[in-house]
Chains A and B, each alone.
Chain A
Amino acid sequence: MGDCMERPLTRHLRPDLEPLSIEEYEKAGGYQAVRMTLREQTPQEVIGIVKDSGLRGRGGAGFPTGVKWGFVPSGPDVPSPKYLVVNGDEMEPGTFKDRLLLEGNPHQLLEGVILAAYAIQARVAFIFLRAEYGMAARRMRRAIEEAQVKGWLGRRILGTDFDLEVHVHGSAGRYICGEETALLNSLEGRRATPRSKPPFPLQVGLWGRPALVNNVETLCNIPAILNNGADWFKGLGRGGDAGTKIYGASGKVRRPGLWELPMGTTAREIIEEHAGGMRDGLALRGFLPGGASTRFLTDQHLDVKLDFGSVEKAGSRLGTGTMIVLDDRTCPVGLARNLVHFFAQESCGWCTPCREGLPWLVKILSALEAGEGQPEDLEILREQVGRIAPGHTYCALAPGAMDPLGSALDCFGDEFERHIREKRCPWKSDGRGTP
């Protein structure tokens, strides 16, 4: 087990990030897990291994993957076919990890898709890709063709009874499609509005039939888990969670990027070692640990291990594990405005708090930025953050938008007050970002 074995997700990626052909992937040991699993293991055994591995969903919620698979109904009364849906609608601001995997090694995802589909006995899989991921879609489609030719997909794979067809579906470009039920509505050709649960997609998913929705990164872990076993995977993590994670950093760090690191790597290590620290003359003021819809952590939290439990304990969420770093020369009000504006734009328009509440907040934050803030604005902002809370809205989008805003109000409240007091954005006056 050399260094490469500790990076099961990215070890095959070529330095130029060109995708591996199927021959290259097979030569590197690709599809071995499919060969072994389809011949030697029952679907139940596969689910058992994934459960034991401790793999948790990498889309943001961190639900144990094997447990989720185990909930997929089986038996003669279950409407058929069952579907596997890959959530590749990576539209979270600051998040671009799935893109790396999709573009760099589409076959690894495909292998994960085959294994997951086998485990839940799905006969059709959809890979739902963000509208802008054209290159990923092209590479994915090519990989599917190659795999069909090689017999990894299609009817009676490896001579077993297992059939699988895989389709790539390009999104029409709405952030809400990352929410799995909205994604399913969109796949069905309906408006991308989230659904009420129950029924959960595992029971009633696509066209009324069961559908399992998994994130790209989650599925890319599967081949290595089945090749190397649950214990090996568990051993990769440093803290409470198993495996590795593609962490990322964006913002005014020296080297923004993505790195596959053991689960539980600290924020400090990522920012200071891998991202090379802050750019010259800038200091870290805070960071959103897992994409735009998580709460700000500050420099006190740099030593928090970035795993699901530790980040939650620190008051935020691991989310997608790709952090947005805020420096001390960027206006936090502006950042909050930018993010809330994004979420307001991406609201599906179904429920009132999200559709009406977010644009109101954008207007208030814009007014603050324009030096037109009023003393009562702060009170309204705080009140709205409390009101647009989980359970008060139809889905998690609007409460997610409140995470950066609410935590910005908590961490940088004086900045908001200064905007109102000075009737200007103190960070904008000379146009160069200096006060």
Chain B
Amino acid sequence: MSVEVGWTGDAMSRVTIRVDGRIHAVKAGQNLLQAILSLGLRLPYFCWHPALNSVGACRQCAVKQFKDENDTRGRIVMACMTPVTEGMRVSVEDPEAKAFRKGVIEWLMLNHPHDCPVCDEGGACHLQDMTVMAEHSVRRSRFPKRTHRNQNLGPFLHHEMNRCIQCYRCVRFYRDYAGGRDFDVLGAHDRVYFGRHEEGTLESPFSGNLVEVCPTGVFTDKTFRKHYTRKWDLQFAPSVCPSCAVGCNTSPGERYGTVRCVLNRFNPDVNGYFLCDRGRFGYEQVNSDRRILKPLRRMEKKGTLVPVEAGTAFEGLPEGFSDPGRVIGIGSPRASLEANFALRTLVGPECFYAGVSSGEYRLTRTVLQIFREGTVRAPSVAEIEQCDAVVVLGEDLTNGAPRVALAVRQSVRNKPMERADRLAIPRWDDAAVRNCAQSEKKGPLLVATPSADSLDDLASWQYRAAPPDVARLGFALAHAVCPDAPAIADLSEGVQRLVDEVAQALVGSEKVAVLTGVGCGCEDVLRAAANLAWALKAREKDAYLYCALPERNSMGLALLEGQDLEAAFQLTGTSAPRTVLVLENDLFRRADVGTVTEFFDRVEHVVAIDCFETATTQQADRVLPSAPFTETAGTLVSAEGRAQRFFACLPPKEGVPDAWRWVRDMARCLGRSEILPWETLDDVIVSLAQALPAFEAVVRVAPPACFRINGQKIPRQPWRSSGRTALQAHRNLHEPAPPDDPDSPLAFSMEGCEGSVPDAVRPFSWTPGWNSASGSGGHTDDETNPEEASEVLLIGPGRDVVSPGRFFDLIPAAFERRPGEWLLVPSYRLFGSEELSALAPAIAERIEKPCLSLNTRDAEALGCGGGDEIRVTAGSRSFCLPLVIEPSLPAGVAGVPSGVSGLKWMALPQWGRIAPGGTK
């Protein structure tokens, strides 16, 4: 688990402590609060947080410590600031300590409003829990409370400063942990204020975590507020974030068919306690009016799509539909493994196409090759956090894989923190450790990207260059680290110096992560990163290689080995398909409009399965509505290669089937049910594991639907004592049976097993007395077995290892700018570039206007300034964008927004012409 171990180093060693007379063995090196919580004892706290550690500000976790058995008086100490030591004697129940803790709550309540009934935090409030725990109940102060003015912090967070209890967690998370700069603690004494220096949208991509970091209702989820319901009325599911390939674990909460919010679901290897804002606030996509709920059919060519009954969805499928080879399937990186596998099974592997652009297809194939043939595996997010050196090659992590960027922000602290170790300051003593570390060099961290990066503030070296030059830097570094890797002859002196310096720092480190990705669209960058990671491995470093991928199941789709979409477009004549099945995929985001339209015109029948209306569904002849991620279950494979299952949070709206069930039903309808004989998700999974050895481990990702605890299913709803069962009472006094869920061991009910459930199927986190997201409950001791966790990794060395020591040796030529042309590189934005999160109104509000970026001199040469309309032309494609000056971009390189809705698709990177002028 991710709680920091102390300076004693040996995380496994134990010490014996005596708490209220009882002897316990607890992990050495931690603080007393962690130890007491890990024993399941109740000790209230506020400023401590398992990821933010101790600062001793709130004074809530006071306990009595006794010198020895003769000491009967003892003294009050703050548990969070006290290291556990062998033989220590403490008392939680000591009357003076209890009175003090009660008194701390009394102090906090002097100014905290009694507005629980109208507070969004009510019922899931750490302050409420702690108040009950500390037994404060009577207000003795007769004086008025202080009040504050609130700020509008943008579409994500609601601010209610009067509720603040000044635990300082928010500012410690926002600034110290996440590197934000536009939020701070202001003022002093009893008028301390947490906010921005002036009202405005919070800029950090991790701002939403304040909702869970805040122990009370100062920062609440503004999107939740628009359709608020109490936590105890929500229905949760163990889910996986659909907004990128990192695979953060989430708990979406639903009521009355509307998904209301997303909470972090603790996973020590992936997201820990934190999500990015796209992941947290993108959920409203499923409530979007672009949802498709009825099958649609075009009765005649070029006619309009009309809703039809589900039972008639397949009526009138054209003749010859079942002719082998005449039906092709196009899979999707946003569909589950199971749905993709179903489609692949129906059409046959040779007719299954990966529904990604040709460029992305090549890149992901390269990623697969690197992991299958190489010596280095991908790190978990937690492992990145533990690295003492990081190299970022070509990838804008903050926009493309935000949670990984947050991990990098922690990893750069590891080396500086060694000074605290030398001074015997425990690592959990956060303020002291940061104080000790400030004289030490951060990192080392190299950020080599085409343009300015959000991680630049931490970087030991920043390198700005066109993608081929970023690749060359990576190749050169690999050679400098290990001479077996191919050398580069013609490096400039300056770059060579940089290479030598970085290589020296890397060789002097222990755990090194090379982080790259498909974001800049350059295979050479991936290969260079692989060479560097392999070179480090050859030097016996703990080396890791992370390749960020764009979508939730990019890796899963790549492992299914479909064919290049381009090949489908080129099928003509006798091999031309008569029918195309498009699975949860908008092909207009994958290829040129003309190409897709022409392709659709060429085939007789386009069947699109999707949850949302897209340009593709509008062109399809038949549209089959599928369930979005909150209404279905399935498996996703993260960029790390980690297979994770997500489960339905609510029964599918209007009974829309899961995508894989549509495919199965289609097979049945065509009389081919023998190849898709599945009834439940587990049948599909077993079939997948049998059919493709790469997926053999997928059956073990989560317990099957038949899993029971004491003979009972796992409830999706928190227990409540009254009320919920009466919701339907105006219609029927009998309590309706909960809807059946054949695909999971979870029940759409509050009834079921009690107590602890396996992590993979835990819908929400709750322990008696700990109702809030910011309370840690039991999350303080080492509970996960690392070996069990690695079982769900589907890629990496050990599977198909080719002889180690083989490096990529095709080194790209140095970037040379072309007269009159620019290399157009994709610029991926946190908000807007991802397809479905953009449907969420709060995210939509944060999408910046798409712009073309050029460096200052290139813009001057064109006679243009910021804001001017610029025409970009590449091949036959052309569009206009306003110009934004980005001084960090190399000359001859232009940044073009990728994935932004409303902007026509263009293959990136590619060479293009840029000219001033708008509407020509």
CA distance A358 to B62 in the complex (A): 19
Q: Which residue of B lies closest to A346 (CB)?
A: B189
B56 at the interface (CB under 8 A from A): yes
Structural contact, B60 and A352, CB atoms closer than 8 A: yes
Determine if B58 is an interface residue (Cβ-Cβ < 8 Å): yes
Bound CA span A391–B100, Å: 12
Q: Does A209 contact B (CB under 8 A)?
A: yes
> Contacts of A359 on B, CB cut-off 8 Å?
110, 189-190
- Asked whether A363 and B439 contact (CB < 8 A) given A203-B423, A349-B189, A394-B56, the answer is no
With A and B bound together, what is the CA distance between A350 and B169 in angstroms?
12
- For B429-448 the 0/1 string (1 means CB < 8 A from A) is 10110011111100000000
Contact indicator A387/B103 (Cβ below 8 Å): yes
B62 touches A392 (CB 8 A): yes
Contact B56 A352 (CB under 8 A): no
Contact with B57, one of A79, A350, A391 (Cβ below 8 angstroms): A350
Q: Mark A349-378, 1 if CB is under 8 A from B, else 0.
A: 111110111111001000100000010100
Any B CB within 8 A of the CB of A198: yes
Residue interface bits B321-362, CB-to-A below 8 A is 1, else 0: 000000000000000000000000000000000000000000
Q: Establish whether residues A356 and B111, one from each chain, have CB atoms under 8 Å apart when the complex forms.
A: yes
A218 to chain B, nearest CB (A): 25
Q: Does A360 contact B62, Cβ atoms closer than 8 Å?
A: no
The residues of B that contact A197 with a CB separation of less than 8 Å are 432
Within 8 A of A (CB), among B180-236: 185, 187-192
List the B side residues contacting A214 at CB < 8 Å: none
B417 to chain A, nearest CB (A): 12
Residues of B with C-beta under 8 A to A348: 188-189
User: Are A195 and B435 neighbours in the complex by a CB distance under 8 Å?
Assistant: yes
Give residues 274-313 of B contacting A (CB, 8 Å): none
Contact A349 B425 (CB under 8 A): no
B256 contacts partner chain A, Cβ-Cβ < 8 Å: no
A87 part of interface (Cβ distance < 8 Å) = no
Q: Is A199 an interface residue (CB 8 A)?
A: yes
A204-B435 contact in complex given A351-B56, A392-B62, C-beta closer than 8 Å: yes
Contacts A363-B143, A394-B59 known; A356 to B110 CB distance under 8 Å? yes
> A240 contacts the other chain (Cβ, under 8 Å)?
no
Q: Is A208 an interface residue (CB 8 A)?
A: yes
A278 at the interface (CB under 8 A from B): no
A434 CB-CB contact with B under 8 Å: no
A79-B437 Cα distance, complex, nearest whole Å = 12
| Contact residue among B143, B192, B424, B436 (Cβ-Cβ distance under 8 Å from A355) | B192
List of B residues within 8 angstroms of A358 by Cβ = 189-190
Whether B56 and A196, one on each chain, are in contact in the complex, defined by CB atoms closer than 8 angstroms, is yes
Q: Does A380 contact B (CB under 8 A)?
A: yes
Q: Quick check: B76 and A360 within 8 Å, CB to CB?
A: no
B437-A392 in contact (CB<8A): no
Q: Indicate if A51 sits at the interface (CB-CB under 8 A).
A: no
Q: What's the minimum C-beta distance from B388 to chain A, rounded to whole angstroms?
A: 18
Q: Check: A191 CB closer than 8 A to any chain B CB.
A: yes
Question: With the chains together, A60 CA to B391 CA distance in Å?
Answer: 51
Tell me which residues across on chain B come within 8 A of A65, comparing CB atoms.
none
Q: Residue B55 at the A interface, CB < 8 A? A: yes
Given contacts A207-B438, A208-B438, contact A351 B189 (CB under 8 A): no
Known: A355-B192, A391-B75. A196 touches B429 (CB 8 A): yes
Specify which chain A residues have a CB less than 8 angstroms from the CB of B185 in the assembled complex.
191
Q: Could you mark each residue 732-749 of chain B with 1 if its beta carbon is under 8 Å from any beta carbon of chain A, else 0?
A: 000000000000000000
Let me know if B707 is at the binding interface, CB within 8 A.
Answer: no
| A433 CB → nearest B CB, Å | 27
Among residues of B, the one whose C-beta sits closest to the C-beta of A201 is B435
Q: Are B141 and A347 in contact (CB under 8 A)?
A: no
* In contact, A174 and B432 (Cβ under 8 angstroms): no
> What is the bound-complex CA distance between A79 and B59, given in angstroms?
33
Evaluate whether A357 and B107 lie within 8 angstroms (CB atoms) in the complex, with A363-B143, A392-B62, A394-B57 already known.
Answer: yes
Q: Is the CB of A174 within 8 A of B59?
A: no
Secondary structure class of chain A's binding surface, majority of residues: loop
Instruction: Say yes or no: A199 contacts B436, CB within 8 Å.
Output: yes
List the B residue with the shortest CB-CB distance to A345.
Answer: B189
State whether A352 touches B438 (Cβ < 8 A). Answer: no
Complex CA gap A419/B511 in Å reads 69
B188 touching A349 by the CB < 8 A rule?
yes
* Distance in angstroms between the alpha carbons of A353 and B100 in the assembled complex: 10
Instruction: Write out the residue numbers on chain A whose beta carbons fall within 8 Å of the beta carbon of B142.
Output: 374
Partner of B190, one of A207, A356, A367, A392: A356
With A199-B432, A347-B189, A349-B188 as contacts: A209 and B62 at CB distance below 8 Å: no
Interface status of B140 (Cβ within 8 A of chain A): yes
Let me know if A292 is at the binding interface, CB within 8 A. Answer: no
Judge if B463 is at the interface, Cβ distance under 8 Å: no
Q: How far is the CA of A358 from the CA of B110 in the complex (A)?
A: 11
Complex Cα spacing A79 to B420, Å: 13
Q: Flag whether B104 is at the interface (Cβ < 8 A).
A: yes
What residue of chain B has the Cβ atom nearest to residue A379's Cβ?
B140
Query: Whole-angstrom distance from the CB of A178 to the nearest CB of chain B?
Result: 15
CB-based contact A351/B75 at 8 Å: no
Within 8 Å of chain B (Cβ to Cβ): is A393? Answer: yes
A393 to B62, CA, bound (A): 10
What residues of B have a CB within 8 angstroms of the CB of A209 in the complex? 439
Are B107 and A353 interface neighbours, CB within 8 A?
yes
Question: Contact: A208 with B435, CB < 8 Å?
Answer: yes
Q: How far is the CB of A32 from chain B (nearest CB, A)?
A: 36
Asked whether A393 lies within 8 Å of B110 as measured between CB atoms, the reply is no
CB-CB under 8 A from A355, the residues of chain B are 107, 166, 189-190, 192
Which residue of B55, B57, B75, B423 is within 8 Å of A199 (Cβ)? B423
B612 within 8 A of A: no
Interfacial chain A residues near B107, Cβ < 8 Å: 352-353, 355-357, 360
| Complex-state Cα separation, A348 to B186, whole angstroms | 11
Chain A positions within 8 Å of B75 at CB level: 391
- Which of A199, A208, A392 makes the CB contact (< 8 A) with B59? A392
CB-CB contacts below 8 Å: B649-687 with A: none
Bound Cα distance from A307 to B14, whole angstroms:
48
The reply to whether B168 and A350 form a contact with Cβ atoms under 8 Å apart is yes
Cα distance A358–B191 in the bound complex, in angstroms: 13
**A359 CA to B143 CA, complexed, in Å:** 10
Cα distance, A350 to B59, chains bound together (Å): 10
In the bound assembly, the distance between CA atoms of A174 and B76 in angstroms comes to 29
Contact A344 B76, CB 8 Å, known A204-B423, A208-B435: no
Nearest Cβ distance between residue B819 and chain A, in whole angstroms? 49
Query: Given contacts A196-B56, A353-B107, A376-B140, is CB(A347)–CB(B188) below 8 Å?
Result: yes
CA distance A360 to B168 in the complex (A): 21
Name, among A357, A358, A393, the residue most crowded by chain B CB atoms within 10 Å (CB to CB): A357
**Contact present for A208 and B436 (CB under 8 Å):** yes
Kindly supply a per-residue 1/0 record for chain B positions 51-73, scoring 1 wherever the CB is within 8 Å of any chain A CB and 0 otherwise: 00001111110100000000000
Distance (Å) between the CB of B103 and the closest chain A CB?
5
B143, A360: Cβ atoms under 8 Å?
A: yes
- Is B77 an interface position by the 8 A CB rule? yes
Known A-B contacts A198-B423, A391-B77; A79 and B189 likewise in contact (beta carbons under 8 Å): no
- In the complex, besides A348-B189, A387-B100, 11 extra interface pairs with C-beta distance below 8 angstroms are A197-B432, A207-B438, A208-B437, A353-B104, A355-B190, A356-B107, A358-B189, A360-B143, A380-B140, A391-B76, A392-B62
Interface pairs (27), CB distance under 8 Å = A79-B439, A195-B432, A195-B435, A196-B81, A204-B436, A204-B439, A208-B438, A344-B189, A345-B189, A349-B189, A352-B58, A352-B59, A352-B104, A353-B59, A355-B190, A356-B190, A359-B189, A360-B110, A360-B141, A363-B141, A374-B142, A380-B140, A387-B100, A392-B59, A392-B62, A392-B100, A394-B56
**A interface residues with partner B (beta carbon < 8 Å):** 79, 174, 191, 195-199, 203-204, 207-209, 344-353, 355-360, 363, 367, 374, 376, 380, 387, 391-394
Nearest 9 A-B pairs (CB), nearest first?
Answer: A208-B439, A356-B107, A349-B192, A347-B189, A208-B438, A363-B143, A359-B190, A352-B59, A204-B436
The interface of chain B, by Cβ under 8 A from chain A, is 55-60, 62, 75-77, 81, 99-100, 103-104, 107-108, 110-111, 140-143, 165-166, 168, 185, 187-192, 419, 423-425, 429, 431-432, 435-440
